[in-house]
Structure 1
Amino acid sequence: MLWKAVLPVAFIVLGIRVFSLRFIEFDKNDNHFVVSVEHVVFHFNENQDDDFAYKFLRVRRSLREKFSLKYLVDLEMGRTLCGKYDEDIDNCPLQEGLGEKKVRCTYIVETQVWVTKFTVLNSTCEQT
């Protein structure tokens, strides 16, 4: 049973380590990155069977591929009281008690901001 919990974490750590060879640190306040994180959260909510929305809590780690707008984003999201199609998810309170859920996801997303195109190349999520 323990290996089921350790294995996904090991893949995330190994994946981040391999990608760090071609990815570099960058300014997390970069507009392209901020919009990419918003898209990743939207993508996550769209692909969940859950009726409740998850909102961005924090970026655990982020890297950018050298000479491109391809990002590796390791982030945490929490389940809110709002539905996933509600207007203002960012200001929605998190669920507590039995409904409380948090997920940690690692995404690789390619951004083409000049045409407002985002492509999720890879994603891995696990509940924390």
Structure 2
Amino acid sequence: MFWKLPLLLGLLALGPHVCSWMFEDVRKTGKEFSLCVEFALHHFNEHQPDENAYKLLWVRRSQRKKYSLTYLMDLDLGRTICKKHDEDIDNCPLQEGPEGKKVNCTFIVDSRPSFTQFTLLSSTCQQI
């Protein structure tokens, strides 16, 4: 029994990299994936203390957990000149100069599109 402990600790240390076999690539333009991206971006903007909205710049990774509707995505976001609650953030210009922040975020979103229900399971972001 004790010989299993080092193996378990090793797997815990590797974290999400060990579980990457559970996800498969999906099209970035797929309807369900696009809805999850929209939800993740909205959640990011709503929980950001910044007054300005961020918009999607690039989808680095688009994956779905096998046999489920849980999506893993790496997104590059850019700070716009628009406020969070403005109508058309997608067409809003990016901030330039020192205020022009960009972040890379990894989101895991569970979706139930038939019920229009989304749940953010994980979110990590870092400035780039």
| Same fold flag (TM > 0.5) | yes
Distance 1:35 1:67 in 2: 18
CA contact (8 A) 2:28 2:59 kept: no
> Equivalent pairs: percent with the same residue?
55
Query: Could you report, residue by residue, the CA deviation over 1:57-78 in whole angstroms, capped at 9, with x for unpaired residues?
Result: 1111121000111001001000
Alignment of 1:93-104 (within 5 A): 93-104=93-104
TM (normalized to structure 2)?
A: 0.86
SS of structure 2 residue aligned to 1:21? helix
Residue 74 of structure 2 corresponds to which residue in structure 1? 74
Q: Structure 1, unaligned stretches of length 5 or more?
A: 1-13
Residue 126 of structure 1 corresponds to which residue in structure 2? 126
What amino acid sits opposite 2:122 in the alignment?
N
Distance 1:70 1:119 in 2: 9
SS of structure 2 residue aligned to 1:58? strand
Q: Structure 2, unaligned stretches of length 5 or more?
A: 1-13
Question: C-alpha root-mean-square deviation of aligned residues, in Å?
Answer: 1.2
Distance 2:60 2:26 in 1: 14
TM (normalized to structure 1)?
A: 0.86
CA contact (8 A) 2:24 2:65 kept: yes
Runs of 4+ in 1 over 6 A off after TM superposition: none
CA contact (8 A) 1:77 1:103 kept: yes
Q: Which has the larger radius of gyration?
A: 2
Residue 34 of structure 1 corresponds to which residue in structure 2? 34
Kindly tell me: are residues 83 and 108 of structure 1, through their superposed partners in 2, closer, same or farther at Cα, counting changes over 3 Å?
same
SS of structure 2 residue aligned to 1:50? coil
Distance 1:15 1:39 in 2: 25
